[in-house]
Amino acid sequence: MSFINYSSREINCKLVYYGPGLCGKTTNLHYIYAKTSPEAKGKMISLATETERTLFFDFLPLSLGEIRGFKTRFHLYTVPGQVFYDASRKLILKGVDGMVFVVDSQIERMEANIESLDNLRTNLGEQGYDLDKIPYVIQYNKRDLPSAAPIEQLRNLLNPTKVPEFEACATTGVGVFDTLKAVAKSVLTELKRGS
């Protein structure tokens, strides 16, 4: 749920990165954090297990500049991708304004991608959202790996509604900011449209 403060002149929005375990959600946030100037970002928080797997969420606050004298602030969250953390994933989706689904392009992760996308649709539904009606983009991550499936195959399986999609390699940053910009722009456009 976006929050507009007319006193501090701020527009705050929440973006959530979703996807199967080890698809690169946290890596996206790490790259954004590393490449953003200090004045545009807050501290990145990771609630992770001892083995660096996301336990609850990662959080990164970003400022993207001003619109008509209002600062636009985006709070980026990731969910834990592992199947058994479903209760936590549902909590992170509360109040979401825009979604990024991060696909693991490796052919052996296809089933995990499909399962995670189904899970996203179900969990959003439980919170009263419809994936087809909220700002939503897809990122095909790990395009650099030899076992990456062809884009056409991924598109047919995971993007039947043809939402904006981006090829990425989050470890090197390819496609990371394109994905972020697309979803942030879509959130602001939707806010304007719904006003």
Q: What gap in Å lies between CA 146 and CA 142, rounded to an integer?
A: 9
DSSP SS3 for 169 = strand
- Beta carbon of residue 52, minimum distance to another protein (angstroms, whole number): 18
Q: What is the radius of gyration, based on Cα positions, of the chain?
A: 16
The secondary structure of residue 132, as a DSSP letter, is T
The answer to whether 6 contacts another protein (rule: CB under 8 A) is yes
User: Which range in 27-35, 101-109, 146-154, 185-193 contacts another protein by CB under 8 A?
Assistant: 185-193
Q: Contact between 61 and another protein (CB under 8 A)?
A: yes
Q: 9 near 30, Cβ under 8 Å?
A: no
Binding another protein (rule: CB under 8 A), the pick from 14, 25, 30, 109 is 14
Pick the closer one to another protein by CB: 72 or 151: 72
Examine residue 161 and tell whether it contacts another protein (CB under 8 A): no
Assign 114 to helix, strand or coil: helix
The answer to whether 98 and 183 have CB atoms below 8 angstroms apart is yes
Q: Using the rule CB under 8 A, give the single segment among 39-47, 116-124, 129-137, 159-167 that binds another protein.
A: 39-47
For residue 64, state whether it binds another protein (rule: CB under 8 A).
yes
Residues 77-116 that bind another protein (CB under 8 A): 87-88, 90-92, 94-95
Cα-based angle 149, 154, 158 (whole degrees, multiple of 5): 150
What is the Cα–Cα distance from 170 to 191, expressed in whole angstroms?
28
- CB nearer to another protein: pick between 53 and 90: 90
Q: If binding is defined by CB under 8 A, does position 164 make contact with another protein?
A: no
95: left (phi over 0), alpha (psi -120 to 50) or beta: left
Sites of contact with another protein (CB under 8 A): 1-8, 11-12, 14, 42-43, 45, 47, 56-57, 59, 61, 64-68, 70, 72, 75, 87-88, 90-92, 94-95, 181, 184-185, 188-189, 191-192, 194-195
